[in-house]
Amino acid sequence: MKTPLVSVIITTKNEEDVLERLLVSIQDNIYKNTEAIVVDNNSSDKTKIIAKKYTDKVFDFGPERSSQRNFGAKKSNGKYLLILDADMKLSKDVIYECVVLAEGNRKIGEIVIPEESMATNFWEKVKAFERSFYNLEGDRDVDAARFFKREAFLKAGGYDEAITGPEDWDLPDTIGKLGYKIGRIKSKIYHYERFTSPFKVAKKKFYYGLKSHRYLKKQKIPTISPKTVYFLRPVFYKNWKKLVLHPFLSIGMFLMLTLELVYGGTGFFLGKILNK
């Protein structure tokens, strides 16, 4: 098999507590032809010092995640791009599996990598429980590709910098409309959630919701759909036995998703009214 270069692009802002774990996991992957690119948004901690221990491609750029990612892509040389957040960790086969799949099918322009939440408290376990439903067989309403063929990424124009939050869905949607196929591997990304209250997650949904109307309009997605209303997602009802077997996690998930829906919906309508 050919071993094309894979550019791993990581966006950061004050991530000194988690970044090294991710960078080590990239180093430890069985696929070695990679370059790590860290695009930092003016961290005030040791993030950039840690990053420079593992790569000489460390840059300052902002103001948001989409612009950071696009900047990282411009600084990259890889045939493929892997977009990561600092609070993640790769299992050892992730990059290898992505390359094998992409090289084996030229029509594939993007690849979904399952994410498993790593939990240390009840609410993180609730988020991990929710994510486990999506990972059973994959879920088109939730799955967002992180591995891209450079050619497809550029044709799509990269991440839409006018969208914050739903850009993770927007770019894969755009690439799919260009005629590329989407693939999915089995190896996982481990996501360290880092929150102690469902209100922290809900507040993030409010912020993301402010510009979500742009995404829905652009991709012609109804305001009320499984993409926007968690309780319309078939995956929960297809696996109702799992809900019954874990009553406390199920109740916690219902409460958390209700909060996310209320906060995200408020952000959506506020953003639409104010044309954010």
Report CA-CA distances (Å) from 248 to 139, 202, 242. 24, 20, 12
Residue 57 pLDDT > 90, yes or no?
yes
Contact 123, 252 (CB under 8 A): yes
- The tokens of 141 are what? 């309403």
Q: What is the pLDDT of residues 190-233, one digit of tens each?
A: 999 899 999 999 999 999 999 999 999 999 999 999 989 999 99
Dihedral angle sign, alpha carbons of residues 219, 223, 225, 226: positive
Domains along the chain with CATH numbers: 6-274 (3.90.550.10)
Q: What is the pLDDT of residues 16-26, one digit of tens each?
A: 999 999 999 99
Q: What is the pLDDT of residues 114-156, one digit of tens each?
A: 999 999 999 999 999 999 998 877 777 788 999 999 999 999 9
- The tokens of 165 are what? 């939050």
Percent of the chain with pLDDT over 70: 99
Q: What is the pLDDT of residues 76-123, one digit of tens each?
A: 999 999 999 999 999 999 999 999 999 999 999 999 999 999 999 999
